Amino acid sequence: MGTGAWSPTAERGLTSTLIARGSEHLLVDCGEGTQRQMTLSSAGLGHVTAILVTHCHPDHVLGIPGLFATWSDARDAPLLVAGPEGTARLLAGFRRYHGRLAFPLEVREVRPGDELRREGYALRAVESRHSVPSVAWELEEDPRPGRLDAEAAARRGVRDGRELGKLAGGTDVRRPDGSVVAAREVVGPPRRGRRIVVTGDTMPAAAVERAARGADVLVHEATFLQRDADLAARAGHSTAREAAGVAARAGVELLVLTHVSHRYAGAEVAEEARAVFPAAVVPDDLDAVSVPLPEHGPPAFLPGGGRARRGGRVPVPQDR
């Protein structure tokens, strides 16, 4: 939704990343102007079930009260806001100004290592390194049952669709003659789900690197270029080269660089990162990344893929 750092520009809004998993949407941070970006996006304003705050600096959270005001008469579904120390105080302050909400609001403060169980996946708070209490967020889907070998099941006398469904779901089936067909005999090993890690503002962090090992996507800040590494260190940020180093050591499939300073063009940021980790992209606002299930191929970068369709044009995977 927004890919810029600290102050908006004509090209980049303030930071916010929307994760669309089926009909459920999660916002990681919510910078000022996020709700307008959402109205321009294919996601729209609905379906958000959680806002995951990385830290409480204004460029990451000032979109929350406006979004709440818009939602106050337009939704009744519950909403979770989770973030590090300071999140509850921040939300209490916002409440003084946006007033009563028509939807149930749960606010949870987390520490690194905390896990929030959701239907079909887990959210984990990961230790990051910034100038205020901060976390990155890891989303990991639950493992899925392995593939059913229907021919192997048929050789054991199971052909009925309902019984095949039981086997596919991991349940053993008893045959009329009393014999048992064990699911493990005809179903392959569990298949992993998707896993992504999204940082807020952070210097390179060992815990983020550990969480990102083998991840499908790492969304990492790249506020500075290496020529300004001293500024990055003083401000608690990363350079594009440093972020690429994290991705390379973690062995992620795709690195997505955001929180781009007005000092640099996106092409500069991409060039520096790709010298270390070639599978890096620098999206513009309302670009998208498609993350298929692992057996269906790698993540794909879709320029404009998050924008609401007005002319019927379908985005195609590209580099940037």
| Residues involved in catalysis | 59
Q: Which element (helix H / strand E) includes 210?
A: helix 206-211
Q: What is the DSSP letter of 53?
A: -
Helix, strand or coil, per DSSP, at residue 229: helix
Distance (Å, whole) CA 64 – CA 17 = 13
Which of 310, 301, 306 shows the shortest CA–CA distance to 37?
306
> Which residue, chain included where needed, has tokens 């086997």?
167
Buried b (16+ CB within 10 A) or exposed e, 82-111: bbbebbeebbeebeeebeebeeeeebebbe
**Spatial CA neighbour of 136 closest among 211, 219, 200, 51:** 200
The tokens 């019984």 sit on which residue? 163
Closest by Cα among 319, 235, 205, 285 to 3: 285
First to last CA, the chain: 17
Which residues, 6 or more positions from 158, have their beta carbon under 8 angstroms from its beta carbon? 164, 167, 173, 175, 181, 186
Nearest to 84 by CA among 167, 1, 199: 199
